[in-house]
A = this chain, B = another copy of it.
Amino acid sequence: MTDNIAKWDFFDLVLEGPSAGNPYLDVSLEAVFSQGARSIRVPGFYDGDGRYVVRFMPDAEGEWDYTTKSSVGELNGKSGRVTATAAAKDVHGPVVVTDQFHFAYADGTRYLPFGTTCYAWTHQPLALQAETLKTLETAGFNKLRMGVFPKDYPFNTNEPLHSVFLEGPDGKPDFDRPNPVAFRHFEQQVGKLRDMGIEADVIMFHPYDRWGYADMSAEQDYRYVAYLAARLAAYRNVWWALANEYDFLLDTKPMEQWDRFFQILEENDPYGRLKSIHNGDVRKNYDHSKPWVSHVCIQNWDVKRTSDWRDDYGKPVINDEPEYEGNIWPSWGNITAQELVHRFWTTTMRGGYAGHGETYAHPEDIIWWAKGGKLYGQAWQRLKYLREVLEQDATNGLTPIGKSTDFPWSRVSGATDGDVRYIYFGEHQPVEWGSGLPMEPGDYDVEVIDTWNMTVSKAEIIDAIVPHPTRHGEVVRGGKPLAAFSVKLPGKPYLAIRCRKKG
């Protein structure tokens, strides 16, 4: 018998086996899936009640033969065949790194991450989870940061929907017995996001804990990471986020362990999903140049440094926490909508990507950032607009026009992608502008984008600015035009220029 699944969907090979003892600890299971010369080792997992699963996502059409290997006879040597059919029309596959600093789906379609956070949304009441999904349908975000563990933190004091581990005889969670109900629910929600075209940035560890998850032994941590890989890696929208604010966990999980977590993923994730790790203290970035890190995940409000981080690590930069729009008392959660939109534009126009979060005080502490629900702010619409603007022209991804220390690019932001270029002014409000515009005369479409009011208007082209000749330590610049032409501007902040070469 053959099972049919579409490429980039997954197939669960379900087997019956022993339920006695603790299969999570005692039973090993994996399968090798082969197609022609290719063989892929796929770890299985125990799903409770004698149910064992090997979850496989084919990345190529055609027939795949498999055989299982297990420490238990009844699970060993099972074989069969899966036929992978064409992917559904609107399915583009998992997201991968491309062009060094950017992302695309496996089919080559560009992917520009516009993420938000609902760190503990899967642990909230089901009605609230449904509302979160409804909000996400129209919010314009295509990535969601979400934790496997519940959150214990200011504004987050409720008990989770499910305990992540089963209760032991002492009434405490037994970290050697994952709760299948909790994980089935978590992966169901990951699946719903996948079907909405939203990447799930799955956070494995965080310090916001009262249940003891932050204090599991190293062995328990390693087993848990491998278990997540076996259960979730087949979801094409999964990204591995080793931690939120890993550095606040260094007291219980030293640096070697973080390195090891990455290695366990490399050993147990057959698909090589994206892997990152997020810092708390701005001085405590993980060394993102380590080979197992796929992209830089960073928390930093100083977004004009984005191009520095590109240079430092040579990988895509996602600033997943440039502070959040809101008004709660913690200082990371109370910047204005305008400031967050400004930080997105600045980050993007320096060759990186930014992340959204919303933290408006709520009478029942139902705050989007952690619990989901509704969005109350004014940034999300502008970020959706920014995404739409960028997707119109995205080809190879944006490259900063200058380094963060180059004049004038330390002050204003600019980036190019093939024949399109943008200059973003933020707090600057020139009435005319020349730097960074094309040096070659030609036929260009030049527009002014109002990033807050979400309007685009044709720009008035004026004669090139020719600076009065001056030595100024830059003799070469004296009297040379800044560009082939200049652009007249209305002299207000938060504007951008878009310049496209015609034809």
Name which of A110-118, A256-264, A321-329 contacts chain B. Answer: A321-329
Whether the Cβ atoms of A331 and B411 lie closer than 8 Å is: yes
Would A331 and B473 be within 8 Å (CB), given that A301-B411, A407-B281, A410-B301 are in contact?
no
Whether the Cβ atoms of A208 and B410 lie closer than 8 Å is: no
Contact indicator per residue, chain A 216-253, by CB within 8 Å of chain B (1) or not (0): 00000000000000000000000000000101111100
Whether the Cβ atoms of A335 and B470 lie closer than 8 Å is: no
Task: Name A301-358 residues within 8 Å CB distance of B.
Answer: 301-302, 304, 323, 327-332, 334-336, 339
Task: Check: A209 CB closer than 8 A to any chain B CB.
Answer: yes
Would A432 and B329 be within 8 Å (CB), given that A405-B283, A474-B248 are in contact?
yes
Top 4 closest pairs, chain A to chain B, by CB: A248-B473, A331-B408, A339-B427, A331-B411
| Min CB–CB distance A119 → chain B (angstroms) | 13
Whether the Cβ atoms of A336 and B493 lie closer than 8 Å is: yes
| Min CB–CB distance A364 → chain B (angstroms) | 15
Task: Check: A125 CB closer than 8 A to any chain B CB.
Answer: no
Task: Name A446-496 residues within 8 Å CB distance of B.
Answer: 465, 467-474, 486, 491, 493
Would A410 and B282 be within 8 Å (CB), given that A304-B302, A431-B327, A432-B329 are in contact?
yes
Whether the Cβ atoms of B465 and A329 lie closer than 8 Å is: yes
Per the bound structure, the CA–CA distance linking A470 and B211 in Å amounts to 11
Whether the Cβ atoms of B207 and A468 lie closer than 8 Å is: no
Would A331 and B412 be within 8 Å (CB), given that A154-B467, A157-B468, A471-B214 are in contact?
yes
Per the bound structure, the CA–CA distance linking A476 and B45 in Å amounts to 39
Contacts of A332 in B (CB 8 A): 408, 411
Task: Name A192-210 residues within 8 Å CB distance of B.
Answer: 207-210
Q: Output the residue of A339, A425, A427, A491 with the most chain B CB within 10 A.
A: A427
Per the bound structure, the CA–CA distance linking A474 and B302 in Å amounts to 24
Contact indicator per residue, chain A 391-428, by CB within 8 Å of chain B (1) or not (0): 00000000000000101101110000000000001011
Whether the Cβ atoms of B153 and A282 lie closer than 8 Å is: no
| Min CB–CB distance A149 → chain B (angstroms) | 13
Contacts of A251 in B (CB 8 A): 473
Contact indicator per residue, chain A 66-84, by CB within 8 Å of chain B (1) or not (0): 0000000000000000000
Task: Check: A129 CB closer than 8 A to any chain B CB.
Answer: no
Contacts of A470 in B (CB 8 A): 152-154, 207-210
Per the bound structure, the CA–CA distance linking A156 and B469 in Å amounts to 11
Task: Check: A155 CB closer than 8 A to any chain B CB.
Answer: yes
Task: Check: A434 CB closer than 8 A to any chain B CB.
Answer: yes
Whether the Cβ atoms of B474 and A327 lie closer than 8 Å is: no
Would A302 and B302 be within 8 Å (CB), given that A331-B435, A429-B336, A468-B157 are in contact?
yes
Task: Check: A433 CB closer than 8 A to any chain B CB.
Answer: yes
| Min CB–CB distance A156 → chain B (angstroms) | 7
Contacts of A469 in B (CB 8 A): 210
Per the bound structure, the CA–CA distance linking A468 and B153 in Å amounts to 6
Chain A residues near B (Cβ < 8 Å): 152-157, 207-210, 214, 245, 247-251, 280-283, 301-302, 304, 323, 327-332, 334-336, 339, 361, 405, 407-408, 410-412, 425, 427-435, 465, 467-474, 486, 491, 493
Per the bound structure, the CA–CA distance linking A471 and B253 in Å amounts to 14
Contacts of A334 in B (CB 8 A): 425, 428-431
Contacts of A412 in B (CB 8 A): 331
| Min CB–CB distance A377 → chain B (angstroms) | 11
A430: which of B328, B465, B491, B493 is its contact (CB, 8 Å)? Answer: B328
Would A472 and B328 be within 8 Å (CB), given that A323-B411, A407-B281 are in contact?
no
Chain B, Cβ-Cβ closest to A206: B472
| Min CB–CB distance A406 → chain B (angstroms) | 10
| Min CB–CB distance A490 → chain B (angstroms) | 10
Contacts of A493 in B (CB 8 A): 336, 339
Would A329 and B154 be within 8 Å (CB), given that A248-B472, A248-B473, A473-B247 are in contact?
no
Chain B, Cβ-Cβ closest to A473: B248
Whether the Cβ atoms of A472 and B157 lie closer than 8 Å is: no
Whether the Cβ atoms of A207 and B433 lie closer than 8 Å is: no
Contacts of A280 in B (CB 8 A): 473
Whether the Cβ atoms of B430 and A331 lie closer than 8 Å is: yes
Whether the Cβ atoms of A473 and B249 lie closer than 8 Å is: yes
| Min CB–CB distance A51 → chain B (angstroms) | 35
| Min CB–CB distance A470 → chain B (angstroms) | 5
Chain B, Cβ-Cβ closest to A474: B248
Q: Output the residue of A302, A328, A430, A465 with the most chain B CB within 10 A.
A: A430
